[in-house]
């Protein structure tokens, strides 16, 4: 599959890789330079492969309250929240953002590309109350404009004042030139900026305008190192159907006070019983690159494993997300096994670098 911007990526000389069936740019000039451009100036990412699911109708909120871990009822128009779809065991089917377009009437879910069909089928199978659900992934493009210069570029290109909205809020903007835009002050980089949902027919135009205004085209490689520096989990790596939000240290996106939702009973039981391992971070003290699957050792005993790792372009050190036994405390020094070597690392709760988002 290709996004509407595929030919733009080729024109820019992008290295294209297969990402869960999508032909996506992994980098244009290089991961490090794109990473730093986003932290210091502004990066533009084509993330149109992400899935968009609309839930509409009088039962929309009731359906979402049944399948999501947060309570959507108090959400006001223009509010975004991070949440999960869980299975009965409390395992994470997907992590997603929910957009309240009209309370009790219309919501948009932005889900991971690789999970869009699974998510849709899951929600559909629990839709006994017959809310109207639509998988709009094929028609909607998504651009992430990220970094401290985003405000200037948004003003210049779309005449949109970024300061008028707060973090995790959005506005719908309608324009002759670009159609309907949903501009959301969210992102997966910690660099500040917006994500813009738009009709795919206008994707090329907006993309070109941002680049002409000096946004640096960035691929999925930089997106991954940027999110890792912030400690944002990646579904499929750090969280999956066999890990729960409690284990992943993401209980902020779970409302256990909500009457009922799929997976709630399992989470309550897990909270009572306690969890064995929890997701946290590592900063390497030795030189080297931590990788997914590396085991973590303390006094030669296995104490966990790495789920994502790379060199932080900002710190110039290896960083990783990992599940560690609860007996391991912050700042503890542990060893990680990288191929045949043991490298020393310090347990560090992410974010690993200071973000640029005002909450």
Partner 1 sequence: MNIPDDLKYTKDHEWARNEGNRVRVGITDYAQNELGDIVFVEFVEKGTMVAKGDSVGTVESVKAVSDIYAPLSGTIAEINDALEDSPELVNQDPYGKAWMVTIEVEDQSELDALMDAQTYDDYVAQEAK
In angstroms, give the least distance from the CB of 353 to partner 1.
16
Whole-angstrom distance, CA of residue 337 vs CA of residue 302: 10
Tally of residues, the chain:
359
Of 26 and 62, CB closest to partner 1: 26
Q: How far is the CB of 218 from partner 1 (least distance, A)?
A: 13
Beta strands in the chain (DSSP E): 15-19, 22-27, 43-46, 51-56, 80-86, 92-102, 106-111, 132-135, 140-146, 170-175, 179-184, 193-199, 216-218, 277-284, 295-298, 301-311, 318-325, 333-338, 341-347
Q: Where are the beta strands (DSSP E) in 68-150?
A: 80-86, 92-102, 106-111, 132-135, 140-146
184 burial class (0-12, 13-18, 19+ CB within 10 angstroms)?
Answer: buried
Tell me: does residue 352 bind partner 1 (CB under 8 A).
no
Residue nearer to partner 1 on the CB measure, 126 or 291: 291
Q: At a CB cut-off of 8 Å and minimum separation 6, what does 185 contact?
A: 80, 162, 165, 166, 167, 168, 169, 170, 193, 194
CB of 354 to partner 1, least distance (A): 22
Do 221 and 31 form a contact (C-beta atoms < 8 A)? yes
- Write each residue from 228 to 257 as x if it is in contact with partner 1 (CB under 8 A), else as -, in one continuous string: ------------------------------
Instruction: Map residues 126-165 to x or -, x wherever contact with partner 1 holds by CB under 8 A.
Output: ----------------------------------------
Q: Which lies closer to partner 1 via its Cβ, residue 206 or residue 220?
A: 220
Question: Which residues are bridge partners to 310 per DSSP?
Answer: 319
Residue pair 8/200 in contact (Cβ under 8 Å)? The answer is no
Q: Does 15 bind partner 1 (CB under 8 A)?
A: yes
Q: What is the closest distance, in whole angstroms, from the C-beta atom of residue 8 to partner 1 in the complex?
A: 20
Nearest approach in angstroms of CB 52 to partner 1 is 27
- Residues 293-312 binding partner 1 (CB under 8 A) are 310-311
Map the footprint of partner 1 across residues 316-345, applying CB under 8 A. Answer: 339
**CA separation for the pair 158, 107 (Å, rounded):** 24
**Distance of alpha carbon 332 from alpha carbon 309, whole angstroms:** 18
d(CA 192, CA 206): 19
Angle subtended by helix axes 116-125 and 60-67, to nearest 10: 110
User: Residue 225 interacts with partner 1 (CB under 8 A)?
Assistant: yes
# binding residues, partner 1 (CB under 8 A) = 16
Q: How far is the CB of 290 from partner 1 (least distance, A)?
A: 10
Segment 21-40, which members bind partner 1 (CB under 8 A)?
A: 26-27, 30-32
> Is the Cβ of residue 69 or residue 189 nearer to partner 1 in the bound state?
189
Site pattern 263..292 for partner 1 (x: CB under 8 A): ------------------------xxx-x-
- Cβ-based nearer residue to partner 1, 150 or 307: 307
56 binds partner 1 (CB under 8 A): no
Binding to partner 1 (CB under 8 A): which residues in 165-224?
A: 221, 224
Name the residues that contact partner 1, by CB under 8 A. 15, 26-27, 30-32, 221, 224-225, 287-289, 291, 310-311, 339
């Amino acid at each position: 599959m290709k996004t509407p911007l595929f030919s733009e990526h080729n024109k820019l000389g992008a290295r294209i890789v297969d990402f869960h069936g999508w032909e996506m740019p992994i980098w244009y000039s290089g991961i490090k330079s794109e990473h730093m451009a986003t932290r210091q100036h502004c990066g533009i990412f084509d993330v149109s492969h992400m899935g968009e699911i609309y839930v509409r109708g009088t039962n929309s909120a009731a359906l979402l309250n049944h399948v999501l871990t947060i309570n959507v009822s108090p959400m006001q128009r223009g509010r975004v929240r991070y949440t999960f779809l869980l299975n009965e065991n409390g395992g994470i089917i997907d992590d997603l953002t929910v957009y309240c377009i009209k309370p009790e009437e219309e919501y948009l879910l932005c889900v991971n590309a690789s999970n869009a069909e699974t998510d849709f089928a899951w929600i559909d199978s629990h839709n006994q109350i017959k809310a109207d659900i639509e998988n709009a992934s094929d028609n909607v493009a998504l651009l992430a404009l990220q970094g401290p210069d985003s405000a200037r570029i948004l003003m210049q290109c779309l005449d949109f004042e970024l300061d008028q909205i707060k973090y995790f809020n959005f506005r719908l903007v309608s324009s002759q030139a670009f159609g309907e835009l949903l501009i959301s002050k969210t992102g997966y980089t910690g660099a500040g900026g917006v994500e813009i949902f738009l009709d795919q027919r206008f994707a090329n135009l907006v993309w070109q305008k941002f680049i002409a205004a000096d946004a640096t085209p960035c691929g999925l490689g930089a997106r991954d190192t940027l999110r890792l520096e912030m400690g944002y989990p990646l579904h499929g790596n750090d969280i999956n159907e066999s890990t729960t939000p409690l284990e992943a240290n993401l209980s902020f996106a779970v409302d256990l006070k909500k009457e009922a939702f799929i997976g709630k009973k399992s989470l309550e039981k897990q909270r009572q019983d306690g969890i064995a391992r929890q997701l946290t971070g590592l900063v390497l003290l030795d030189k080297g690159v931590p990788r997914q699957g590396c085991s973590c050792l303390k006094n030669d005993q296995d104490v966990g494993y790495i789920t994502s790792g790379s060199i932080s372009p900002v710190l110039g050190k290896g960083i990783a997300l990992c599940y560690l036994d609860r007996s391991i405390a912050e700042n503890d020094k542990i060893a990680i096994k990288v191929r045949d070597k043991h490298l020393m690392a310090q347990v560090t709760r992410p974010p690993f670098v200071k973000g640029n988002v005002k909450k």
